[in-house]
C-alpha cells in the first residue's frame, strides 16, 4: 500500500509561489485502478511526479508498505514503471525489444524476454518489432513506452495520460492491458481526461480541482450521485467541477 500523508507541492516561478498541489493524505491500495481526473493545471502530473520521485514535495511523506520512500535512499523505493506526458519516454534510435531491454537493464533485470513478448503481443506491436521507434506512429510509440513500463513487472505503475491523442482501437487496447494488470496486485495510478477510459477501467476516481484532491469512489457511484439521470460520466464530472 502507498500511504501518502500531508503531501503538497509549491512551485516558485519569477519570485511568486504557486501552490500546485495542496496538502493531502490518502492510502492507495494495490489491485485497483486509481484515475486522477480534473481540469488542466489542477495538479495531476505534479502529483504523479512526486510519487515517482521526479519532483520533490514541499511537504509530506510517502510510505510504501510502511517504508518511507522520500526520506529513504533510492533503494528503498518500490520498483516503479512510469509513462509520463509527451513522446520522450523511449529511446527513438532503438527498436521495440531493444527499448525494453534497455529499460529492464537500467533496473538490473534479466530473464524478462517472455514477459516482453507477451506485452508486445498484447499491445499489437509484433509487426513493428524491428523498426527504430523514431519511425513509429505516435500511438505505437506510446504502446512501446507502456510495454517498457509493464515489462519491468513493477510494484507501482504510474501512467500520465496514456491514451492521449490515440485512435479508439489503440486507446481500447491500452485500457484492456491496464485492466489486465489489476490481477497482478500492483499499485496503478492513471491520470486521464478520457471519460470512456474512466467509465470502463477506474475503480476509484480522484478529482483534482485547483490543487485539491478528492477521492470520489467508482464512476458508477459518481454518475448515480451527480449525473442527474444521465448515464454519461462527463455529465456528472461537469456537475462536480462547476459546483
Ligand atoms: N516545473 C514547474 N514549475 C512551475 N510551475 C509548474 C511546473 N510544473 C507545473 N507547474 C504548474 O503547476 C500547476 C499544476 O500543473 P500540472 O502539470 O500538475 O497540472 P495537470 O493537472 O497535470 O494539468 P494537465 O491536465 O494540463 O496535464 C499548473 O499551474 C502548472 O503551471
Ligand atoms: Mg498533466
The verdict on 112 and 56 lying in the same domain is no
The verdict on 71 and 141 lying in the same domain is no
Flag whether 85 is in a domain: no
Flag whether 234 is in a domain: yes
| Number of domains observed in the structure of the chain | 2
The verdict on 8 and 115 lying in the same domain is no
The verdict on 162 and 226 lying in the same domain is yes
Residue with cell string 485497483: 32
For a ligand 1 pocket test, name from 8, 46, 164 the mutation site with the most ligand atoms within 8 angstroms of its C-beta. Answer: 46
The verdict on 74 and 161 lying in the same domain is yes
The verdict on 63 and 169 lying in the same domain is yes
For the segment 45-84, what is each residue's pLDDT rounded down to a tens digit?
Answer: 999 999 999 999 999 999 999 989 887 677 778 999 999 9
Flag whether 83 is in a domain: no
What is residue 86's predicted lDDT score, i.e. its pLDDT? 75
Helix (H) or strand (E) holding 119: helix 113-122
What is residue 77's predicted lDDT score, i.e. its pLDDT? 85
For a ligand 1 pocket test, name from 20, 37, 160, 163 the mutation site with the most ligand atoms within 8 angstroms of its C-beta. Answer: 20
Atom of ligand 1 nearest to the CA of 42: 21
The parent domain of residue 130 ranges over 90-153
The verdict on 146 and 160 lying in the same domain is no
Q: Which of 153, 184, 207 is the last residue of a domain?
A: 153
> What beta strand segments (E) does 16-141 contain?
16-28, 32-37, 59-64, 67-68, 80-83
Whichever domain contains 56, its CATH number is 3.40.50.300
Helix (H) or strand (E) holding 138: helix 138-151
What parts of the chain have a pLDDT lower than 70? 72, 87
Instruction: Please give the Cα distance from 26 to 215 (Å, whole number).
Output: 8
What is residue 165's predicted lDDT score, i.e. its pLDDT? 80
Amino acid at each position: 500500500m502507498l500511504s501518502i500523508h500531508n503531501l503538497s507541492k509549491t512551485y516558485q516561478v519569477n519570485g511568486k509561489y504557486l501552490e500546485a498541489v495542496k496538502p493531502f493524505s490518502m492510502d492507495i491500495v494495490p489491485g485497483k485502478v486509481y484515475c486522477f481526473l480534473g481540469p488542466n493545471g489542477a495538479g495531476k502530473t505534479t502529483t504523479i511526479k512526486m510519487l515517482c520521485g521526479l519532483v520533490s514535495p514541499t511537504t509530506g511523506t510517502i510510505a510504501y508498505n510502511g517504508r518511507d520512500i522520500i526520506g529513504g535512499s533510492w533503494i528503498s523505493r518500490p520498483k516503479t514503471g512510469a509513462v509520463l506526458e509527451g513522446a520522450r519516454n523511449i529511446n527513438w534510435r532503438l527498436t521495440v525489444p531493444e527499448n525494453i531491454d534497455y529499460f529492464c537493464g537500467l533496473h538490473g533485470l534479466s530473464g524478462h524476454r517472455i514477459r516482453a513478448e507477451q506485452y508486445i503481443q498484447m499491445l499489437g506491436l509484433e509487426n513493428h518489432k524491428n523498426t527504430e521507434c523514431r519511425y513509429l506512429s505516435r500511438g505505437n510509440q506510446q504502446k512501446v513506452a507502456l510495454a517498457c513500463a509493464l515489462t519491468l513487472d513493477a510494484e507501482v505503475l504510474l501512467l500520465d495520460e496514456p491514451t492521449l491523442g490515440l485512435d479508439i482501437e489503440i486507446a481500447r487496447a491500452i485500457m484492456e492491458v491496464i485492466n489486465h494488470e489489476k490481477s497482478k496486485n500492483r499499485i496503478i495510478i492513471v491520470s486521464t481526461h478520457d471519460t470512456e477510459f474512466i467509465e470502463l477501467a477506474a475503480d476509484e476516481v480522484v478529482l483534482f480541482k485547483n490543487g485539491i484532491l478528492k477521492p470520489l469512489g467508482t464512476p458508477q457511484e459518481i454518475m448515480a450521485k451527480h449525473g442527474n439521470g444521465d448515464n454519461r460520466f462527463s455529465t456528472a464530472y461537469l456537475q462536480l467541477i462547476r459546483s
